[in-house]
Amino acid sequence: MQLQELSDILQRPETLKPEQITELKSLVDTYPYFQPIRALYLKALKNKDSYKYNNALKVTAAHTTDRSILFDFITSEIFNQNLISEQIKQNSEYIKAIEVNAVDDISIHRSVTIDDALKQHIEATEGVLDPNLFNKKEGSDSVAEPIKSNSAEEKLKIGKPLEFSTSETHSFSEWLKITSFKPIDRTEEADKTEAPLINKLETIDRFILENPKIKPTVNTPKPKLVDNSDDIEDSLMTETLARIYLEQKNYEKAIQSYRILSLKYPEKSSFFADQIKAVKELKERNNTDND
């Protein structure tokens, strides 16, 4: 991707095209901490409705110092706007370019009499009044194909990009919390440094014994920054949060979420009932696969 092309996209993100995803991914790999490129890559995946979007959002959050800025970006109008507006604009220009031929005014050149109007009406209805149309047709041996119902994954939008609104800061924070990266396994490194560490600890113990006047400081309780409670507050429940639990295969919490939403929005209770049914189906299938 040329520098000028990248500069133009940064100034006008709405012009981003799906076919530019590969080039943006290459730039992200080359410059992992250049956040504007990551933002464009996210938007490209969102426009394409890619299954890679959710993971890319998680990685972007890990590379972002101020996640509130990231949240503001993914909930902005520019981010959620895709190429539809551009297509509408192009179609409008195309329609304007079409020459409209002047239609002759029938009333000027020819007056239609009542007899002519009746004749035209009879000719138009002759096909409808054809008795052959009402003959009983012999039964066909072909059997109509049953309408395929959407799978549980399709109903629950498994793998589809998560969409956050400006009022869903809690859902976004919850998603970041439960999708945090696992710590790097440094077991081998720990084994190598175990002996020096023991020596240091022995030195510290000896220092404490030789200086009895030094008293250990009282451990003050640290403020609880994150609520790890398993209880879900009704006021904070959203469909996005329910989908987050689904993506984590936490089916019990997903079912609980949809039940809360059903009570919160009774006008959509039938929809949430279908979602609960789909979650149970998905849960049962996964349990069968694991057996």
| Residue 253 near residue 241, CB atoms below 8 Å | no
DSSP 8-state secondary structure symbol assigned to residue 236: G
| Residue 269 near residue 276, CB atoms below 8 Å | no
Global confidence as pTM:
0.40
Helix (H, G, I), strand (E, B) or coil at 272: helix
Per-residue burial over 155-182, b if 16 or more Cβ lie within 10 Å, else e, is bbebebbbebeeebbebbebbbeebeee
Q: Give the model's pLDDT for residue 267.
A: 87
> If the chain, 291 residues long, is cut into consecutive pieces of 10 residues, what is the mean pLDDT of each piece?
76 75 86 82 82 82 76 68 46 48 46 56 51 50 52 74 61 60 48 58 64 55 45 64 81 87 84 88 79 60
Q: Give the model's pLDDT for residue 182.
A: 47
Rg of the chain in Å (alpha carbons): 32
Helix (H, G, I), strand (E, B) or coil at 137: coil
